[in-house]
Structure 1
């Protein structure tokens, strides 16, 4: 009996092959992953950008007025950086807003997102029935 090895290499995959999309073995399609909860930095960044664009101002103009670097302001608007309260207050002031105004705009966006999830039937917690207001006291 000859034990000669064939001249072909055998490939052993390191990872199992991904299952094809569609129904699984049981015939059921797996549920889609829940949409990710928005991060506060994304909401604040969106509010900063919306307000700046509504005022038809440039990044350079707002950054100079706020005394922060233009690349840093861009990163804030894109939700890439987590800003300190001092930086947020400076950016808000450069846009003619108070810090509370900026945070209210971000909170409104969070409420819209939460209501969208509730309308889709994905959120059923008792907290969604509560008032979604921001209360600031002097």
Structure 2
């Protein structure tokens, strides 16, 4: 009978995952709100959402609908295309490992 010889097994390092869209969107919304020196309550009131909901969107905990994104963008005097283009530019300009530098750990792109 033949001997079974195991193949050497090199540990595989997974590729750097991409950040979730909702996290980059939340960061962009928070940055814009802070630039305007508005509180969560002020921006949420203009957008017609609760401050708690806006906070969760900014922290990347909620996956807002396009209507909600448009309402929040409008409250920040930004168009939907302007906001989404800014998020897309962030994705294009930074490698995945740099985009994950917000302290949340590794992410995977959600469908």
Task: Tell me if both proteins adopt one fold, taking TM over 0.5 as the criterion.
Answer: yes
| C-alpha separation in 2, matches of 1:31 and 1:112 | 27
Partner of 1:97: 78
Structure 1 or 2, whichever has the larger Rg, is 1
Partner of 2:67: 86
Bigger relative contact order (CA 8 A; separation at least 6): 2
| C-alpha separation in 2, matches of 1:32 and 1:58 | 42
Counterpart of 2:27 (choices 46, 61, 85) is: 46
Gaps of 5+ in 1: 1-25, 118-138
Higher relative helix content: 2
| C-alpha separation in 1, matches of 2:93 and 2:31 | 15
Give the root-mean-square deviation of aligned CA atoms. Answer: 1.9
Mapping of residues 14-29 of structure 1, within 5 Å: none
How far does residue 33 in structure 1 lie from its aligned partner after superposition?
Answer: 3.8
Gaps of 5+ in 2: 1-7, 97-111
